Amino acid sequence: MEGEALGGLPRFWPLTWEHWLRVWTRLPPLLEGLSVNLALLGGLLAVGFVLGVLVAILEVYAPRPLRILAFVYAWVFRSIPEILLLLLLWFGPAQFGVRISPFTAAVLALGLRSSAYQAEIFRASLQAIPVGQTLAARALGLSRLGAIRFVLLPQALRLSLAGWGNEFAVVLKDTTLAYAIGVVEVMRQARYIGSREFPLTLPAFLLVALLFLLVTYAGLFLLGKAERKLRIPGLEARR
Amino acid sequence: MLLRVEDLHKRYGKEEVLKGVSLFLDRGETKVIIGPSGTGKSTLLRCLNRLAEPDQGRIWLEDREITSPKVNINLIRAQIGFVFQDFNLFTHLTALDNVRLGLLRVRRLSKKEATARAMRELERVGLADKAQAYPAELSGGQQQRVSIARVLAMDPKLILFDEPTSALDPELIGEVLTVMEDLAKSGMTMLVVTHEMGFARRVADEIIFMEKGVIVEQGPPEQLFRSPKHPRTAEFLRHIADLYGGER
């Protein structure tokens, strides 16, 4: 830990051009870390999407007790700080003799949190669909679930794309919180670099910032493309 | 008798919208319901496939009681077409997919069969060339014709029309009425709520005049238009003639 100041102010260490150039040679471990963040992102978005859709459907269409349960769920997971959720999911299961990896704990914690926010996005979209769509679906003989599956949800998901892109940009950055429970992701890699060679701490962090700029840009670019590809005349205009 | 309705009541909150309506329809018959707005015509139609739950009264489709709690209402609805005032085409689906949805998901036909049948119905309403268009790319009249094709594809025993031309620009009404007239001629059983008196006179086997939740008078168009028995019917017909400038 040579050179690192623990529990105090960072040490003064004048950076030279040499440091700024040398940090680029540490790109491989950072990219390796970033790939873990992307894996976390994929996992948490998937968990969040599946649970989010389910919770949104319950919030809008379920009988009262289930609806209340869904609202409580959304309230709980939107209220607890993410860092606390991570720690709870990391230390909690061990109490019951269940051992999960920090990676799994992070996917679950961040996924549960995201599901609550995604549920709000999908709920708003479901509620924006005119009631005539439901009537027409039911009049054809579709069941309640059939109407949701074939008519309401496909429309709601398209209407949700913009809001979902926003959620994507938020949770992408949240994956770095997994650092707190020991997942070797990009922040931890940056920290390793800094602890091996203290002067590289700041350049490594800045390089991580640059990586996130790029990934966020790429992600939003792809989402925008998807939005255009999935656009249906007259559907979005209604919002 | 294809459809029999006995003493139907429906209330929304304190207001009783239907106050004991009874009617019947024979196979191949077209009946037109007329009457002032807010007299429960739409509610009556919606009760007939239980899009609105009746509070009291019974309904039979052939010998099946629709109002029985044991009945699978989805199966019944698949046999009763419903055409809405504002079309309610599924906005995320093309015309073809709108017509196909019920065939695939309710009738459970194969994709090939469903497509063939859907195309046939689109042709019947003169819109085969619009199969790939989304609702927003169609005129109101075209949308309503697609919605009729969507209903026809299900091969219904009966079609309910809830003011099918009221949301249309005047120049688009004709194309929809023509489709409906052809349908009536082909032997379809139809119950139509409309203000199109010309259509009613030409096509209806019987006109039903409804007001304030009850049927005031019913009879063949000639008799009802020429010599209405009830003063309220006469007054309504005069009022409609003023509004629409006579029959179309």
Helix (H, G, I), strand (E, B) or coil at B162: strand
**A145 interface with B at CB cutoff 8 Å:** no
**Quick check: A233 and B49 CB within 8 A?**
no
**Quick check: A139 and B92 CB within 8 A?**
no
- In this prediction the pTM is 0.86
Terminal C-alpha separation, chain A: 56
**Quick check: A140 and B154 CB within 8 A?**
yes
**Quick check: B136 and A233 CB within 8 A?**
yes
Strand partners, B5: B23, B59
Gap between the Cα atoms of A226 and B2, Å rounded: 50
**Quick check: A132 and B106 CB within 8 A?**
no
Give the pairing type, strands B80-83 and B158-162: parallel
**Quick check: B92 and A155 CB within 8 A?**
yes
Confidence class of residue A231 from pLDDT cuts 50, 70 and 90?
A: confident
Give the pairing type, strands B158-162 and B64-65: unpaired
Tokens of A195: 């602890």
Q: Nearest by CB to A136, which of B84, B106, B137? A: B84
What is the ipTM, given to two decimal places? 0.92
Q: Give me the residue label for tokens 């999908």.
A: A122
Gap between the Cα atoms of B41 and B36, Å rounded: 9
Q: What is the pLDDT of residue A238?
A: 47
**Quick check: A234 and B82 CB within 8 A?**
no
Q: Nearest by CB to A232, which of B92, B102, B150? A: B92
Q: What is the pLDDT of residue A237?
A: 55
Chain B nearest-CA residue for A158: B92
**A144 interface with B at CB cutoff 8 Å:** no
Gap between the Cα atoms of A8 and B113, Å rounded: 75
Tell me: pLDDT of A239 over 60: no
Q: Who wins on pLDDT, B4 or A194?
A: B4
Q: Nearest by CB to B90, which of A138, A146, A151? A: A151
What DSSP designation does A175 have?
G
**B99 interface with A at CB cutoff 8 Å:** no
Nearest alpha-carbon partner for B202 in B183, B218, B222: B222
**B135 interface with A at CB cutoff 8 Å:** yes
**Quick check: A140 and B137 CB within 8 A?**
no
Q: What is the pLDDT of residue A2?
A: 46
Q: Nearest by CB to B134, which of A146, A154, A234? A: A234
Residue B181, burial from CB neighbour count under 10 angstroms (0-12, 13-18, 19+): middle
Gap between the Cα atoms of A206 and B31, Å rounded: 77
B156 contacts B77 by C-beta, under 8 angstroms = no
Q: Nearest by CB to B86, which of A132, A142, A154? A: A132
Helix (H, G, I), strand (E, B) or coil at B5: strand
Chain B nearest-CA residue for A230: B92
Which residues on B lie below 8 Å from A139 (Cβ)?
49, 51, 77, 80-82, 84
Tokens of B135: 């609702």
Average pLDDT of each block of 10 consecutive residues along chain B (248 residues)?
94 93 95 92 94 94 92 94 96 96 95 96 94 94 95 96 93 93 95 94 94 94 91 90 63
Give the residue-averaged pLDDT of A151-157. Answer: 94
What DSSP designation does B138 have?
S
Q: What is the pLDDT of residue A1?
A: 45
Chain B nearest-CA residue for A129: B91
Q: Give me the residue label for tokens 């091969």.
A: B155
Which residues on A lie below 8 Å from B163 (Cβ)?
none
Q: What is the pLDDT of residue A20?
A: 87
Which residues on B lie below 8 Å from A236 (Cβ)?
none
pLDDT digits 0-9 by tens, A19-39: 888 889 889 999 999 999 999
pLDDT digits 0-9 by tens, A84-143: 999 999 999 988 988 899 999 999 999 999 999 999 999 999 999 999 999 999 999 999
Gap between the Cα atoms of B214 and B71, Å rounded: 27
**Quick check: B134 and A233 CB within 8 A?**
yes
pLDDT cut 90: percent of chain A above it: 70
Q: What is the pLDDT of residue A8?
A: 67
**A160 interface with B at CB cutoff 8 Å:** no
Q: What is the pLDDT of residue B34?
A: 94
Q: What is the pLDDT of residue B248?
A: 46
Q: Nearest by CB to B106, which of A133, A142, A155? A: A142
Q: What is the pLDDT of residue A57?
A: 96
**B236 interface with A at CB cutoff 8 Å:** no
